[in-house]
Structure formats: structure tokens, C-alpha cells
Amino acid sequence: MHGGGLGSQHRDARDRVVTAAALLPPAGLPGLDPAWSRLVEVPRVDGRGGSDTWHVLDNAVDLAAGDETAGTLLCVHGNPTWSYLWRDVARAASKPADGGRPWRVIAVDQLGMGFSERTGRTHRLRDRVVELGALTDALGLTGPVVTVGHDWGGAVSLGWAVEHRAQLAGVVLTNTAVHQDLGVAAPAPLRLALTGGVLRTSTVTTTAFLETALALAHPPLSAAVRDAYRAPYRTRARRVAIGDFVADIPLAADHPSRPALDDLAAAVRTLDVPAFVAWGPRDPVFVGRFLDDVLDRLPQADVHRFEGAGHLVAEDVDFAGALLTWLTDQEVDTPDLDTPDLDAPELEDGVTRTPFRPLGAAVDERADDDGPALVELAPIGGGGPRSISWALLARRVDEIARGMGLAGVGRGDRVCLLVPPGADLTAALYACLRIGAVVVVADAGLGIRGLSRAVRGASPDVVIGVERALLAARALGWPARRFGAGPMSRASRRLLGVETTLVELAASGRTPLGGVPAALPSGGVPAAMPLGGVPAALPPAPGPHDPAAVLFTSGSTGPAKGVAYTHGQLAAMRDVVGTTYGIGPGTAFVAGFAPFALLGPALGATCACPDMDVTAPRTLTAAALAAAVAAIDAAVVFASPAALTAVVASADGLDEEGRRALAGVGVFLSAGAPVPPELLAAAGALMPAAAPHTPYGMTEALLVTDISLDEIRAAAGGEPAVRGVCVGRPVEGVRIAISPLDDRGAATGALTGAPGVTGEILIRGAHVMDHYDRLWLTQRASARDVGWHRTGDVGQFDDADRLWVEGRLRHVITTAEGVLTPVRFERLAEGVAGVGRAAAVGVGPAGVQQVVLVVETVPATRRPGLATTELTARVRASIDRPVAAVFAVPRLPTDVRHNSKVQRTRIGIWAGRALAGGRLGAP
């Protein structure tokens, strides 16, 4: 082993001379400390004598004398990168930001790659694993070692890991592959690269392969960084191994590296060390199925999908920070959570929890009830209203569950449901839950891009959808089996690759084993099973701690996040909703929001879905709501603020019969975004016997607090919006705490329930989500207070223990005078004549931001611009803080799902550009 001075040289068995100068990176590469470069002579592993010269980056020079390291990170690049990929890891590991113990980093250049020796030999997968072992032997590397691998360096690093278990402390992977099934087509870019004459031309003769790889960065790499990656590959001779690496991808059964890959893939399953996977989902090569395979082989792995990142995830995001955070967590003993036993009653925080009762228990219990369970005012496929009895619903759930089992869908499989609310969605949902499949709910309200991102992120095994949803699945290339719902022609089925339909699954589920399907009556409603038949067996029912669902957030504050629930948590959600609003058997309610429609059967209540587009809440009219109420004599109505606004706006279309129907409603609920008291009052005028309520909750916990209109008025106490929006007191079984904000707007304070303290809102309860799906960093941040979930909302308690919501944590405004929250300003501005909705945002550097108000005017302004002098003066007079500017726009951008949550981040960027003199387009 030597330092590789510029004059040093060595001679291999063939008397070939390689100068060290050719094996060292040039000076000045951005982010790379020349002191890290080492040349290491390693005996050849083929028994022919001589040695190979490796170039490695070693940050040991940065470690202070006497530093106790936590271990060594053995970093292995893929093709066509080199150890430069890990420069940020080497620097961050030298001096961890949290003050913890440093890590030594050994980042290798594989032989023939980077600045390691061009040996003239072909290095296959097995060769590279053995060669890496010889290098670590030469380095005298001892444990603990955590391997870090990217691309095909992931497989090489895992090969080292399975053969060095005594030294191994963990494995870390970024976009890579452990296995490639022979029957599955390789990703298109790989197939193209491996094609005949393309291989050598693209990888060796030209720099096409290298340039294509560098172009996969998001955002694009700087010119200097791109040039640094090119540095070792300036000539054809230095690019030979790039072509060899591609040629060594074992796609065929007779490929020389196929046995090594198969052995490695099997051995990885035996690794029982901690694992971390950082994934860039925009990778066109290592697509989602490779991540699924990695997680199947390393089920203990923590995984984080970095939305927007791609193949070069270590360049796209702060991978070094994420890695060091994960490593730190492995050194800390996580305290055991006081996890409630959902199988039995217990007393916790003064609340008695009922025993676990599956979400679909009410459906099973009412299997002989011919009364209505669901009423569809606009069923899939058209036609008039349709009523589905409890008996029919129970039978349909049972048949679909059995049919799905026969179709190979079972416990743990992910099933994405892209079906409008109604009988088909309800039956499919409860059938999936019955067999232990994990339901993925990502509705079309996310928009095409958001929906596709969500579905790919959840990586479902099956997509069940109506025709237009499956068209999107095909067009967007979602890699999942496809089952149809609703009417679908044979031609559409062939085009979309639909294996079966819900009707066919139900038919197979009621067919005696070995028999023939019973005939379907007109309309496709399943008939009863033939007498004497033996249906397919159902698996044991899932338990309370088994995974049940992944529900996606609205995406109003960034990419929609998958929220994972267990069966016990879904059951607890049902119970808290039923208890809070008295919904249960004998109750009838109208759901203008999909989650409540799906909870209806769980509560044992009759539910009607109004004639509306659930992906566009503003399509709900007063007449359609009245028709749904009349259809089931509903006592309870739920509608989002946008839907409720549309109902109020269309009230003139109500006839006398519709007004009588709405007059019979006893309770109406509106949530999903802050609901102005004026809107509740206007809706209350249409439903005069109803008590208006606005629950506060989120996808992570559907119900947290509740408040009535009378309580809102009492809380205002003559000073409307003095704090923000009052959302009331916690519902039964929920605890709330506040983490105070510091001067930077971060929620760093100790948890408190004291009044008048603004901070992040934390919640706990049996129905709070289990975790964020494949978002380890997000989950870690939200659950860093053991047993609590950080909501990302900011607010405070008043003297009467009522919670006031003041906005989102990411939207707080940090001024020179202190931290301000937006909702209070918005509510005050919305009280000004001529203002509809308002958004308060901070513009400028953190700590010295200026408050800007962007408002919708009444009547609406024709084009965006500064508000009139008069309106600006009135808005400024309503607010007790300096306001830098007031802009008027025709319409504020909102989230897609609710059409209610104002997108402050987007508005803030627009306002900043506008103040800087940019063109005033729509925000």
C-alpha cells in the first residue's frame, strides 16, 4: 500500500508499466479534496501474480488524531460514474453536523473505472465482488463496515456484504437492482444499450452512454461537475470498462454472470443487518419494480423516495445528510412505544378503548338485511338511482374476496382502487380488507401528474379501475395487473390489458370449486351461489396490527404523501367518527367526500352519494344535494368547503321539494380546509334544523377536533380571527400538544398545552396513522416525539382549551420583528368589503421577510396586479402589522382535491417575482 506519489510506478505480471500520475484525479474538481486520493496496490485475485492499482477516496486525512470513528462507509459506484459520486458523503462523514462520531469513508474506483488501473481484463460481477474483497483486505479494513452502493455498484457492494458478515454493520443502497427476472423485459434504455453495434459505439467509441447518464440528474449538473465526471473517461481506451460493465448485465439465462447474480439475490435475503434505501423515482433504468424487489429481499430496510429525484439521487438531493441521519439513528436505542393492545379494552389517557372490531364487521353482521346500505344517484355506467341492500353488499364483498383469492391476490398485495364512490368501490374496498390486501387510495382529484406519482410511489400489484382510469394506467405505464370496474367493451379490455373485472371476480367467487359460474342476471348483479356448492376458501381475517391501507394526502403542500394505516387504526377511525357524530345503524347520511362514503358501511349507516364529480367538489349543486338527502331521508350531510360553497351558490335552483328535504337534515359537517363562519351560516340557512359543525383533521388522522357554528361565534368573542380559525376541542380519544416556534420559525420548543403559545400542533390517538409509506425521513420528522404525530400545522390553545389553527409550519412568515402566522391576517383581510379569499405570504430572505396579501376581489378583477389604492388602504387598516403590498387576482390557486386549500407556497413565489418587477401572469 502506498500514497501514490507522482513518480511511483508498478509492474504487473505482463511487465506492463502504469504511471501513478495517470491514476490520480486532476486538481480543482469541485467538491473533491485532493488529499483524499490514494493509490492502493492489491494482489491480483486470478492467481497469475502481480497486482492491480486501485484509486480510492479516503477521508481519513480529515479525521483528527484520536478521533473515535463510528465505523467505515465502503462506497461503491456504478456505471459510468466513479468515486467522485461520494464526495459529499466523505465530507459530511468527516464532521457530522449533529456532533456525533465521524465515519471513515472508503470510496473505491472499480478496476477499469474512474482513476483505477485499466487492467486489460474483463471484470465480471463475481470478479468485481472478489476484487473488492481483496482491496479491503489490503486496506486492513475491519468492522464495523456499512456498505453503500449505487447502480451496479449496489450489487457489487451487496456481494461484499454477504461475504464479510463479521465486519458488516449495515447496507445502504441508492437506485440499483439486485435481480432481473428472466421473463420480464429489461428497461428500454438498457435494451437499447445492449443492442448489437450500439453497445460499443455508445459506451466506448463515443461518450454517448456517459453523457446520457449525466443528463439524468434533476436538477441538471453544473458544467464543472459534469466535467469532473468526464475526467477519467477522456479517451476510448479509458472507456473500455464502461462498455464491459453494460455487457455484463445478465439479462439472459446463459449469460456468464447469471449464476453469480442469482446466488447474490438469494444470499441478500439472509442479511439481517439494518438497511437504508434512498430512491430517485424519476429513474428510467432502475424503475419501481427494482425497488420492490430490493424491499422484498431486505424487508427490514428503511426506505425514502425522494420525489423529483432520479437515477443520480446522490447528486439530486442531500443524500449525505440523509445517510448520516440514518446512521445516527442506528446508534440510538429507540424507546419502546406504549403501543395499545387493540385486541382488548384498556385504559389510556383516561379513555377506554373498545375491543378490535374489523372495519367490515357491520357489513357481515347485516348480511340478511334487505334494507338499503348504499344509494347511488349517478351510478357508474349511467342510468337512474340504484339502491344496494346490506344483503347484496355483504354477498358481493364475500364473492369478490373469494374471486380475488382465486386470481392470486392475497395478504400484503397492494391493490389500487381507481373507482368513483359507490357500490363497486365499496365492495372492492371491503373485499380487499377481508383477504388482507393493502388498499391504495389515490383519487383523481390529485390531477394526472399527482395521481401517477402517487400510484408509482405506492407500487401496487393490482389496479382496479373504470375504463378512463385504466386508460391512464396504460398511458402512464403503471407496472401492475389491471382489473376492470364498470362497463367495458372487449376491445377496450384487450387494448388496456384487463385480466378480469369485478363482475367476473364475483362470479368466480361464488362458483363451486370445479364447477361452472352461475348465470348473471341482467345488469350484472351476482346471483346467489348454487345450492350444494363449495366456494373458494377465504384466508384467516387480518388482525389489528396488520397493514390495511395507504391513503394519499391532497398534495396541497407538496407531492402527495402515502399514509399507511393498520386494520386497528382504521377501525379506531370508524369508532371516533361514529361516537362524535352519533352515526351508526339506523342513521342515514349523504357523503359528498369519498372517505366518508367509504366509512358508511363500516358504521352500519345508510349512505347516499350525490350526483357530482367527486374529483371536482364545486360540481355539487343544491338540487343534487337535496335529491340525495331525499333518497334516504338523511339526517347527516358531509361536504367539503368548496362543495358547500357551490351548494350555497346554486340555492336558487332548489324547488319546494328540495327545500323540504334539506330542512330535515339534523347535522351537516364541512372540513378539508378552514371553513369561514359565514359559509356555515349560509349553508345553515338552507338546512335550518341542522347544527353546522366543522371537524379538524387530515389524512393522517381523519378526526382531531370538532366545533359547531355556535361555538365558533362564542370563541370569536367579538374579535373575529383574533388568533386564526378556531377548530374546537379534541374529540374523544385524542390528545393535542403544541411545540413552540423559535425565532427562525422552527418548532423546537418543549411540548406544552399552555394557552397563548403558538407552535406546531402534535396529536396522538388510536386512529392516528401508522407511518408515511416509503418516506423514512418524513416519518422520522413527524414522529420524533415518541408517541406523537407532528401535523405540520401551527396553532395555539386559548384559555378555554380550544385549539386555533394559524396556518402551516412551512408558511410561517419570519420578519425582523418576529414570527408571524398567515391565517390570522387572511381572516382579517377577508373581513374587508370587496375581498373574497385572501392569502398572506412572506417575501424576502428568512428573518427579514415582508408581509404581502394576495386577494380575490368581489367582483373578481379581470387580471392580476396591484390592488387599487383604496382597497390596499382598507386591507392595511384591517391588519395591525405592516403590509408591504396588496395584490388582486381573479382567483387564488388551490389544491386539486378539495378546491379549498390555498397554495401559499406557489402564491409566495409569484408575489416575490411580482415585487421584483416580473411579468404578472396568474399565480
Looking at residue 151, which CATH number applies to its domain? 3.40.50.1820
Q: Per DSSP, what are the bridge partners of residue 39? A: 2, 55
Looking at residue 796, which CATH number applies to its domain? 2.30.38.10
Q: Are residues 800 and 834 in the same domain?
A: no
| C-beta separation of 669 from 643 below 8 A | no
Q: Is residue 621 part of a domain?
A: no
Q: Is residue 228 part of a domain?
A: yes
CA nearest neighbour of 240 among 87, 106, 155, 116? 116
Q: Is residue 578 part of a domain?
A: yes
What pLDDT, in 10s, does the model give residues 449-476? 777 888 888 899 999 999 988 998 888 8
Q: State residue 513's pLDDT score.
A: 58
For residue 567, the surrounding DSSP H or E stretch is: helix 567-581
CB-neighbour burial class of residue 917 (10 A; exposed 0-12, middle 13-18, buried 19+): exposed
Q: Are residues 793 and 816 in the same domain?
A: no
C-alpha cell at 383: 342510468
| C-beta separation of 435 from 411 below 8 A | yes
Q: State residue 445's pLDDT score.
A: 65
Q: State residue 533's pLDDT score.
A: 54
Looking at residue 817, which CATH number applies to its domain? 3.30.300.30
Q: State residue 827's pLDDT score.
A: 87
Q: State residue 514's pLDDT score.
A: 53
Q: Are residues 600 and 748 in the same domain?
A: no
Largest interatomic CA distance in the chain: 101
Radius of gyration of the chain (CA): 31
Q: Is residue 659 part of a domain?
A: no
Q: State residue 22's pLDDT score.
A: 55
Q: Are residues 257 and 306 in the same domain?
A: yes
CB atoms within 10 A of CB 81: 25
Q: Are residues 266 and 240 in the same domain?
A: yes
CA nearest neighbour of 700 among 606, 818, 779? 779
Cα distance between residue 177 and residue 173, in whole Å: 9
Q: Is residue 748 part of a domain?
A: yes
| C-beta separation of 441 from 417 below 8 A | yes
Cα distance between residue 132 and residue 815, in whole Å: 54
Annotate 431-462 with three-state secondary structure: HHHHHCCEEEECCHHHHHHHHHHHHHHHCCCE
DSSP 8-state symbol, 752: B
Q: Is residue 679 part of a domain?
A: no
CA nearest neighbour of 903 among 427, 264, 428, 447? 447
Within 13 Å and on the Cβ side, how many CA atoms surround 54?
27
Q: Are residues 538 and 500 in the same domain?
A: yes
Within 13 Å and on the Cβ side, how many CA atoms surround 263?
13
Q: Are residues 158 and 301 in the same domain?
A: yes
Domain closes at, from 609, 631, 665 = 609
Cα distance between residue 804 and residue 439, in whole Å: 33
Describe the crossing of helices 423-435 and 390-406 by its angle, rounded to 10 degrees. Answer: 50
Q: Is residue 532 part of a domain?
A: yes
CB-neighbour burial class of residue 753 (10 A; exposed 0-12, middle 13-18, buried 19+): exposed
Q: Per DSSP, what are the bridge partners of residue 457? A: none
- Cell numbers 330535515 correspond to 664
Domain closes at, from 567, 592, 609 = 609
Which ranges constitute the DSSP H helices of 269-389? 288-297, 313-316, 319-331, 361-365
CB atoms within 10 A of CB 193: 21
Q: Are residues 792 and 852 in the same domain?
A: no
CA nearest neighbour of 706 among 680, 688, 741? 680
Looking at residue 576, which CATH number applies to its domain? 3.40.50.12780
Q: Is residue 697 part of a domain?
A: no
Q: Which domain holds residue 837?
A: 812-923
Q: Are residues 572 and 530 in the same domain?
A: yes
| C-beta separation of 484 from 499 below 8 A | no
Using a cut of 0.85, tell me whether the model's pTM lies above it. yes
Counted domains in the chain? 4
Domain closes at, from 783, 810, 837 = 810
What pLDDT, in 10s, does the model give residues 467-503? 988 998 888 888 899 999 988 889 999 999 999 999 9
Q: Are residues 551 and 403 in the same domain?
A: yes
CA nearest neighbour of 294 among 413, 177, 183, 181? 177
Within 13 Å and on the Cβ side, how many CA atoms surround 82?
33
Q: Are residues 805 and 861 in the same domain?
A: no
CA nearest neighbour of 857 among 843, 845, 868, 846? 868
Q: Are residues 231 and 283 in the same domain?
A: yes
Cα distance between residue 324 and residue 92, in whole Å: 8
The pLDDT averaged over each successive group of 10 residues in the chain (923 residues) is 29 36 82 96 91 95 81 97 98 88 96 96 96 97 95 97 97 94 74 78 94 96 98 96 93 92 96 97 92 96 96 98 95 47 43 77 94 87 83 96 95 93 92 96 75 86 93 86 92 94 94 52 39 70 96 76 95 94 92 80 93 82 94 92 91 94 93 80 94 92 93 74 82 96 94 95 96 95 93 94 93 92 90 92 93 93 92 93 92 65 87 84 77
CA nearest neighbour of 706 among 678, 685, 675, 684? 675
